[in-house]
Amino acid sequence: MLKIIPAIDIIDGKCVRLFQGDYSQKTIYNENPVEVAKEFEARGIKHLHLVDLDGAKSNGIVNWKVLQAISTQTKLKIDFGGGIKSDKDLEIAFENGAFQLNIGSIAVKDKELFLSWLQKYGSEKIMLSADVINEQIAVSGWQENSGIDIFDFLKDYIQNGIKYVVCTDVSKDGTLLGTAVNLYKKIIDQFPEINLVASGGISSIKDVEELSQMPVYGVIIGKAIYENKIQLKEFQKFIY
């Protein structure tokens, strides 16, 4: 069964969305992310994708108080990302209620450090974030293209024990133009053993239904919820 994972992206403590990862194209949807999270929980949703966009552009986690507030005021299982660059950042995130950590840039820039975290915390707690532009990995809040092939990247880390992968097609993110179904099919065909979470471009419940027909573990949904393209009640068939 497909897991529904709403997204809350944070800048200055507020719930926002970007267009294709562009910080200059920002829309503020709610001043209080905790209220947003509570509404998700009230609808039966059990998972949340929380991203510290300030942290993604800085030297460490910035909005940890938002994580703490949501984790103490809801029972949502939070996968948290953005700004995780040091051992201390992992400690801060887990101490403040993260269920899983979603890590991308360090996995590209410092493989040895990332693998040390994977060994210490285990594959159930460390998720690999694979942000993609033209089937190449993007890093640093999508500001840089690493030139690394997505399939080579995944193969390497799966061999090193990764079980959970969040894959975002940056060109789709925040566009409401549909999700990267063909990319996800290619990934699943090559790596059927992983738990793949699709992210970016969801425009309607039909996109969610299409992904549910594939062996996709979960789907992250942001703008479609905030722009009322999908009503929360439409997720009921996927909640268990």
Is 229 domain-assigned? yes
Beta bridge partners of 11: 14
Q: Which domain holds residue 99?
A: 3-235
* Mean pLDDT of the chain, nearest integer: 92
Residue 240, pLDDT score: 67
Q: What are the distances in angstroms from CA 160 to CA 3, 38, 147, 186, 187?
A: 25, 36, 21, 20, 17
Lowest-pLDDT range of 2-11, 131-140, 181-190, 195-204: 131-140
As for how many domains the chain has, the answer is: 1
Domain CATH code at residue 38? 3.20.20.70
Query: Mean per-residue pLDDT for 23-33?
Result: 86
- Is 131 a residue of the active site? yes
Residue 67, pLDDT score: 98
pTM of the complete model: 0.93
Is 240 domain-assigned? no
Task: Check 54, 131, 173, 207 and give the catalytic one.
Answer: 131
Q: Residues 214, 184: contact at Cβ < 8 Å? A: yes
CA distance 61 to 158: 26
Q: Residues 212, 240: contact at Cβ < 8 Å? A: no
Place of tokens 């800085």: 58
Q: Tokens for 164? A: 């959970």
Residue 142, pLDDT score: 55
Query: Mean per-residue pLDDT for 58-79?
Result: 96
Is 134 domain-assigned? yes
Lowest-pLDDT range of 23-32, 58-67, 141-150, 176-185: 141-150
CA distance 170 to 133: 6
- Is 9 a residue of the active site? yes
